[in-house]
Each structure stands twice: as C-alpha cells, then as structure tokens.
Amino acid sequence: MSEITLYKSPKKALRLLGLCSLFVLPGCYLIYKGRKYLPFIASIGFFGLGYIIGFFHLFDKSPQITISSKGIWDTTLKLDIIPWHSIYDAYTLTINKQAFICLVTNEEVTGKKIHKLTRMLNEGIEAQKVNLNLSAVKADPNIIISLIVQLINEPQEGRSGLINTFKKTT
C-alpha cells in the first residue's frame, strides 16, 4: 500500500525552544541576582512549558499525518483512519500563521460528541469538525491540499498511482 507520511519538523521545534529561552533565561538571571518577583517566576513557569513541548516535538519520531490510498490518519485527532468516501471537500485555513487543512466530512466520521464550545469556535472561524494541523509538520500546505483534493476526486483504483506519482515529484 502506498502512503505519504508527514513528520514533525525539528526546525520548528528548535525555533520554539529558542523563543522560550528569550523569556526563561532573563527570568532566571534576574531571580539569581536577587529579584524574586512574581512576574519572573510566572514567566519561567509559563515559557518553561514551551521547553517540554519543544523537546517532545524535537525527539518524537512518530508520524503525525499519514495519507494513504485508504484515507487520512492524523495522530492528533484521536480518530481512526478517515476513509476517502467520507471526505467531500478540503480547504486550507490560516490562523495566526498556523496552517490547517479543514476536511468536510459526513457524520460517520464526526459522529463522536464534540463539545459545544469547540463546535461554536469552529463555526466562528469557518473551520470544520475535522481539521489537520500542519503547524508542526515540515510540509507545504498548498501542495498537501492539492494532493488531498485530487485524491478525493480520484477513484479508488487510481489513488495508489497518484500517491506514487506525487512521491516521485517531491
């Protein structure tokens, strides 16, 4: 079975670690110099969480998104593979320079209960119930969305060939 696997970008994880260091290291220095103020401690605590996330993304070698001839699987969605016959359309959405691919699916995929607040937020930003987050992935959202739209419109027999052709061109 042919498939395309997208992994987390170590470059983006290193950028997160660097940005968190801009707030943690000065806070540590000022506390070391004797200024024990709550804002410095809060800064270290809040941006210190970025270290945890950054190191997790840096050393996590598991795939985040897998696109195969059977469907799409995203580890962050906590769903099984989303079959192609359940996906009607796809489009990109960018929020604060964070790329998402919104999948228009039937109720078979999104039949699980979604919290009311999450549903309201998705409607407010024109997102769907199933959204693939590409912010930590090393891939161009425009290329991925064009592949997904082609795979939605392709019959089942031609999907493997389309994926293999895409892998050869990239």
Strand, coil or helix: what is 164? helix
pLDDT, tens digit (0-9, with 9 covering 90-100), for 8-56: 888 888 999 999 999 999 888 888 887 777 788 888 889 999 999 999 8
**Residues in a beta bridge with 73:** 66
Q: CB 54: neighbour CB atoms within 10 A? A: 21
DSSP class per residue in 53-99 = HHHHHHH--S-SEEEESSEEEETTTT---EEGGGEEEEEEEEETTEE
pLDDT at position 111, please?
A: 47
Q: Where do the structural domains in the chain lie, given as residue ranges?
A: 7-59, 65-169
Predicted TM-score (pTM) of this structure: 0.74
